[in-house]
Amino acid sequence: MAAERIATVAPIAEADAKGKVAEIYADIKQTKNINFVPNLWRVLATNPDHLELVWTRLKALMHPEAAGRQSKLDATTREMIALAVSATNGCAYCVNSHTAALKKLGLDNEALGEVLAIVGLFNTTNTLADGYQIEADILPPLE
Q: Kindly identify the residues of this chain, within the stretch 53-72, that bind a copy of itself according to CB under 8 A.
A: 53-54, 56-58, 60-62, 69, 71-72
Which part of the chain contacts a copy of itself (CB under 8 A), choosing from 14-22, 23-31, 117-125? 117-125
Q: Which residue, 31 or 71, is less far from a copy of itself as judged by CB? A: 71
- Is 124 an interacting residue with respect to a copy of itself (CB under 8 A)? yes
Number of residues engaging a copy of itself in binding (CB under 8 A): 85
Q: Which residues of 118-139 are buried (b: 16+ CB within 10 A; e: fewer)?
A: ebeeeeeeeeeeeeeeeeeeee
Q: CA nearest 75: which of 53, 96, 104, 55?
A: 104
Q: Which residue, 26 or 50, is less far from a copy of itself as judged by CB? A: 50
Report the C-alpha gap between 9 and 43 in whole angstroms: 7
Report the C-alpha gap between 96 and 80 in whole angstroms: 13
Which part of the chain contacts a copy of itself (CB under 8 A), choosing from 13-21, 24-32, 114-122? 114-122
The residue from 3, 22, 40, 75 that contacts a copy of itself (CB under 8 A) is 40
Q: Kindly identify the residues of this chain, within the stretch 9-38, that bind a copy of itself according to CB under 8 A.
A: 9-10, 36, 38
Binding mask 70-109 for a copy of itself (x = CB under 8 A): -xxx---xx-xxxxxxxxxxxxxxxxxxxxx--xx----x
3-state secondary structure (DSSP) of residue 52: helix
Q: Give Rg (Cα) of the chain.
A: 19
Report the C-alpha gap between 109 and 5 in whole angstroms: 33
